[in-house]
Amino acid sequence: MTSTGLVTPSPRRARRLRSGQPARRSVLRQDRVALGLTIFLGLLVLVALLAPVLAPYAPDETDILAASQGPSGAHLLGTDALGRDLLSRLIYGTRLSLLGPVVVIGVATVCAVTLVLSSVWIGGRYDRFVGKALSVLFSFPGLILAIVVVAIVGAGITGPIVAFSIAFIPYIARVLRPVALRERSMTYVNALEMLGVSGWTICVRHLLPNIFPFVRAHVTIALGTALVDLAAVSYIGLGVQAPAAEWGLQISTGQADLLAGKPWESLTACVAVLVVVIAVNILGERLAAAAQKEGR
Amino acid sequence: MTTPPQLSARDLRKEFGGGRRGEPVVAVDGIDFEVARGGALAIVGESGSGKTTVVRMMAGLETPTSGELLLDGAPLVHSGRGAEARLARARRIQMVFQDPYSSLDPRQTIGDGLAEILRLHGIADRDACEEVALTQLRRVGLDQRHLSMRPGSLSGGQRQRVAIARALAVDPEVLILDEAVAALDVSIQAQILNLLNDLRAESEVTYLFVTHDLAVAQQVTDTAIVMHRGRVVEEGTTDAVLTDPQADYTRRLLDAVPHRGWKPRRRLAASA
Amino acid sequence: MNTLEPTTTLPDTAVEPAVAIEHLQVRIPVDGSPAPVIHDVTLTIGRGEAVGLVGESGSGKSMTARALMRMLPDGAEVHGAIRFEGEDVQEMSPRRLRAYRASSIAMIYQNPHAHINPLRTVGDFLVEGLCQVQKVPRREAEQKVVALLVAVGIADGARRLSQYPHELSGGLLQRVMIAAALATEPDVILADEPTTALDVTTQEEVIAILREAQVQRGLSILLITHDLDLAGAACDRLAVMYAGQVVEVADGAGLVERPLHPYSAGLLAARPEIGVRARLRTVPGRPASGFEVGDGCVFAERCAFVTEQCVSERPQLRSLEGRQVACHRAEELDGVLLPLADGPVGADAPGQDKEPS
């Protein structure tokens, strides 16, 4: 990512001025904050992948003699009640804590985009049915749905992921529908129809790329919400089970120490959740603003 | 006319609404018209005249309440499904829209947009695509440079040229021009009108030119119908309609066009 | 045809004109750096005079109107003088500026629906200005407004007051906007493409109403339009703008019959005329904006008569036999432009006069 956008060559600017439209430059090159946040999130993914290399201890390595300690040279963030290194657990926790939301939002986005594009394209009774179904689904809080699913399949990471994958479909579809409807009403869509282009091709090759900036923005924001929701499920003991390392679970297991005046486990996990959620939210808002600006 | 009409409308009618909620609104009230192959018909009217509804029926976007639209004796719009029917329909009728700013996919380069249509219709294979696309662009007065541009870098007139090139790429029998020059600057409008005349001279395409602008209609068309409140109030050769109008409404329209020595008058019939 | 005498009498320019714009230059920031949108506009509107400001997109005609209202975008740099009855609009205090906008000068827009609150009735919209700015009691204001509605051709004005904007057609709503503009008894009306969205028959009506207001109330009107035929027929005097510069000023009939600037001639020739069927003479290229032109004549890039001098030196607006033109070659081109504007030549018109057989 070199900063070639710094000095804009004048012929390009002249052409842009003439056409009265912003040049098609990527958001990340125009927006330093968005770029920084993207790099930060990329680094987090690297941390998750390279956890065995980066973590000073194994996540389940106990040292009863050094239990519930504050930060020290040996344990940079201290240890938990079983004497496990908190930094290592935080680093390993990145894996499950990020994987959950990414899977949830990935599945929900694919479903939502498919439903929205197909219902906007086909219209009529199908559209009304999809609209009704999504409203019904939307009225169930994701957390309740997760509890119901866990009650059926049992506690663990699978139940909540399945539940939230479904619960987030209306959440994403609701924002994308008006965008897709507006795009559908553009004259170029009528023109392509008249030229014999199939509905499938129009949806996939024309509508989808044009609503993509909005998809990207709203999915980023939804990622933060999913992260909090999944952490909450783990916190109440229905999600990821001990002894696995996961931030929501860490907040929960750290409570005993917290009451004893040793906040390190809960605090570090809380901060981790908070930082990621704030980062994806700001990035999402920036992307949404850029998409809005680019929209005609 | 010695040749049989290529495109014709018979007692075409379109109503909206109706049913339990009272009287239907009659948008098109039983109109007839015909155009010979390679001819050009102007459909002239103001807002609410029904001209847009006629075009939408021809494009297959609305279904007539009664009456029919025929192309070479067969119904103009086939409702057949599948790729074959779709492509056949595309080669019968094409359309250029009023707004040049929304009629091209903003994310697709001009070259890619043309190539997509050329490949779809089997006009050119992957290798020949760019060359054929360039030929199409040259026909409408654009060149190599425009192939790699996106609509955002083109002016309104250039976009309308692209839209015309794209519509003609499939070699349609009928081209509908729906207020196709209305949104353009005067000096650009003239360029496009001349281009439309040149294109018709070199192919067999039939024009259906929908407009509110009488002077513009005269530039491109041979025959004209004047529509008012869903009915045809006058028809004939465009020159005759413009220079020797018979219907009161046509005269009223002509009087309202600013010209030398024009004195705008008030008719005090203010209605909602 | 070949005399250069103006065909209508111009208003007495000895008295202070209602509006005087002198060498106006406007630059607005684009991507952080100022880009010129108006290079040189010099224009006067006499008292009781209707002036047409004609130009294509990017010509700066609407920006000129905004400068006159002092409603330019943030960060705009303005040079030159804009005077309203001798008073510099740029120097007005905030308080004076409010009064100036409220009651000295009124504006009518292309799309009336975008300039009226859809949630309030036509009556509320019309009397608001009168009640708040001029402190007229509501009942009195309503009576006045109904009379105004009658004046603009809405006979059942009292009934219309309780209607909402969406219940009115475009033509009717534009009449309401004219009534609103007249309500504060302004000295000048700025009409920015007031009929572009309307049907021709409605356009005639609206123009006739504006003309009537001009004559009966002694209003000055600035009609901004892309339609040279319309402006020529509806205004006393025309100013043609191109790429941020006024290139020609003349009385309406004079300009339409005998343009002195190649661009005016090109505009006239490009517009088809009813009853004349021949290939249109076009101006090559497309209309340029103020920030696209070089140091020379703003029209040089598209002009058929361009010389070296045109490219290097920008012609100023100068008087020529009772008119004004910004062209180095105006005198020598005087006869040459005529056939171009008078009627297109038919020689290069392939496939034109074909009738269906």
pLDDT tens digits, one per residue of B117-174: 999 999 998 889 999 999 999 999 998 999 999 998 898 899 999 999 999 999 999 9
- The answer to whether C203 contacts chain A (CB < 8 Å) is no
Q: Looking at chain B, which residue has its C-alpha nearest residue A17? A: B153
pLDDT of residue B19: 67
Which one of A190, A196, A206 has the shortest CB-CB distance to B90? Answer: A196
Residue at C78 is within a domain: yes
Residue B271 has pLDDT above 60, yes or no: no
Judged on CB neighbours under 10 Å (0-12, 13-18, 19+), C27 is buried
Residue B7 has pLDDT above 70, yes or no: yes
Q: Quick check: A21 and B153 CB within 8 A?
A: yes
Residue B232 has pLDDT above 50, yes or no: yes
How far A171 CA lies from chain B's nearest CA (Å)?
A: 27
- The answer to whether C59 contacts chain A (CB < 8 Å) is no
Q: How far is the C-alpha of A64 from the C-alpha of A70, rounded, in Å?
A: 14
Residue B79 has pLDDT above 80, yes or no: no
In a 13 Å sphere around the CA of A120, the CA atoms on its Cβ side amount to 27
Tokens of C196: 């572009």
Residues of chain A found within 8 Å of residue C292, distances taken between Cβ atoms: 14, 17-18
Residue at C58 is within a domain: yes
How far B212 CA lies from chain C's nearest CA (Å)?
A: 8
Residues of chain C found within 8 Å of residue A17, distances taken between Cβ atoms: 30, 35, 289, 291-292
What is the residue-averaged pLDDT of chain C? 86
Q: Quick check: C291 and A13 CB within 8 A?
A: no
- Going by C-alpha positions, the residue among C156, C146, C226, C166 that lies closest to residue C194 is C226
As a whole number, mean pLDDT of residues B94-110 equals 93
Which one of A24, A186, A210 has the shortest CB-CB distance to B150? Answer: A24
Least reliable range by pLDDT among A31-45, A51-65, C84-98, C125-139: C125-139
Where along chain B do its domains lie? Answer: 7-101+172-256
CATH for C45: 3.40.50.300
pLDDT of residue B111: 94
B7-101+172-256: CATH topology: Rossmann fold (3.40.50)
- The answer to whether A18 contacts chain C (CB < 8 Å) is yes
pLDDT of residue C356: 33
pLDDT tens digits for range A98-151 = 999 999 999 999 999 999 999 999 999 999 999 999 999 888 888 888 889 888
- Going by C-alpha positions, the residue among C59, C56, C58, C80 that lies closest to residue C68 is C80
Q: Looking at chain A, which residue has its C-alpha nearest residue C28? A: A17
B3 — pLDDT class (breaks 50, 70, 90) = low
Interface test with B, best of A17, A179, A187, A212 (most B CBs within 10 A): A187
Q: Quick check: B152 and A195 CB within 8 A?
A: no
Residues of chain C found within 8 Å of residue B252, distances taken between Cβ atoms: 201
Terminal CA-CA length for chain A = 28
pLDDT of residue C240: 96
As a whole number, mean pLDDT of residues A48-63 equals 91
Residues of chain A found within 8 Å of residue B170, distances taken between Cβ atoms: 195-196
- The answer to whether C342 contacts chain B (CB < 8 Å) is no
pLDDT of residue B70: 92
A25 — pLDDT class (breaks 50, 70, 90) = low
Listed by number, the residues of chain C in 204-243 with a beta carbon closer than 8 Å to a beta carbon of chain B are: 204-205, 207-209, 211-212, 226-230, 232-234
pLDDT tens digits for range B51-74 = 989 998 998 888 899 999 999 888
Q: Looking at chain B, which residue has its C-alpha nearest residue C150? A: B268
Computed from CA positions of residues B44, B45, B49, B51, in that sequence, does the dihedral angle turn out positive or negative? positive
Ordered mean pLDDT values, 10 residues apiece, chain C (357 residues): 44 72 92 88 94 92 92 91 93 93 90 89 88 84 90 87 90 90 91 89 90 91 93 92 95 87 92 86 87 90 92 93 92 74 38 31
Q: Quick check: C199 and B215 CB within 8 A?
A: no
What was the ipTM of the complex prediction? 0.89
State the pairing for strand pair B223-228/B231-237.
antiparallel
- The answer to whether A6 contacts chain C (CB < 8 Å) is no
Residues of chain B found within 8 Å of residue C351, distances taken between Cβ atoms: 197-198, 200-202
Residue at C265 is within a domain: yes
Q: How far is the C-alpha of C143 from the C-alpha of C139, rounded, in Å?
A: 6
B238 — pLDDT class (breaks 50, 70, 90) = very high
- The answer to whether A296 contacts chain C (CB < 8 Å) is no
What is the residue-averaged pLDDT of chain B? 89
pLDDT tens digits for range A177-227 = 999 999 999 999 999 999 999 999 999 999 999 999 999 999 999 999 999
pLDDT of residue C61: 92
B20 — pLDDT class (breaks 50, 70, 90) = low
Residues of A with CB under 8 A from a CB of B: 15-16, 18-19, 21, 24, 186-188, 190-192, 194-198, 205-206, 209-210, 296
Interface test with C, best of A17, A19, A25, A30 (most C CBs within 10 A): A17
How far C356 CA lies from chain B's nearest CA (Å)?
A: 6
As a whole number, mean pLDDT of residues A16-23 equals 44
Q: Looking at chain B, which residue has its C-alpha nearest residue C163? A: B272
**Residue ranges of E strands in C157-244:** 188-192, 220-225, 237-242
Range of the domain at C283: 17-85+188-205+218-272+279-338
* Amino acid occupying residue C310: C
Q: Quick check: B259 and C227 CB within 8 A?
A: no
pLDDT of residue A96: 92
Residues of chain A found within 8 Å of residue B59, distances taken between Cβ atoms: 190, 194
Interface test with C, best of A12, A13, A293 (most C CBs within 10 A): A13
Residue A67 has pLDDT above 90, yes or no: no
Q: How far is the C-alpha of A116 from the C-alpha of A212, rounded, in Å?
A: 13
Residues of B with CB under 8 A from a CB of A: 59-61, 83, 86-87, 89-91, 93-95, 97, 99, 101-108, 116-117, 120-121, 150, 152-155, 163, 166-167, 170
Q: Looking at chain A, which residue has its C-alpha nearest residue C289? A: A18
How far C275 CA lies from chain B's nearest CA (Å)?
A: 6
Chains A–B, number of C-beta pairs less than 8 Å apart: 73
What is the residue-averaged pLDDT of chain A? 87
- The answer to whether C34 contacts chain A (CB < 8 Å) is no
Residues of chain A found within 8 Å of residue B118, distances taken between Cβ atoms: none
Residue A261 main-chain phi, psi, to 5 deg: 80, 15
Q: Which are the contacts of A279, defined by CB distance < 8 A and separation ≥ 6? A: A37, A40, A41
State the pairing for strand pair B7-16/B40-45.
unpaired
Residue B84 has pLDDT above 80, yes or no: yes
Q: Quick check: C292 and A17 CB within 8 A?
A: yes
- Going by C-alpha positions, the residue among A283, A250, A286 that lies closest to residue A268 is A250
**CATH code that applies to domain A28-67+75-294:** 1.10.3720.10
- The answer to whether A293 contacts chain C (CB < 8 Å) is no
Q: How many domains does chain C have?
A: 1
Chains in touch with B (3+ beta-carbon pairs under 8 Å) read A, C
Q: Looking at chain A, which residue has its C-alpha nearest residue B160? A: A188
Residue B244 has pLDDT above 60, yes or no: yes
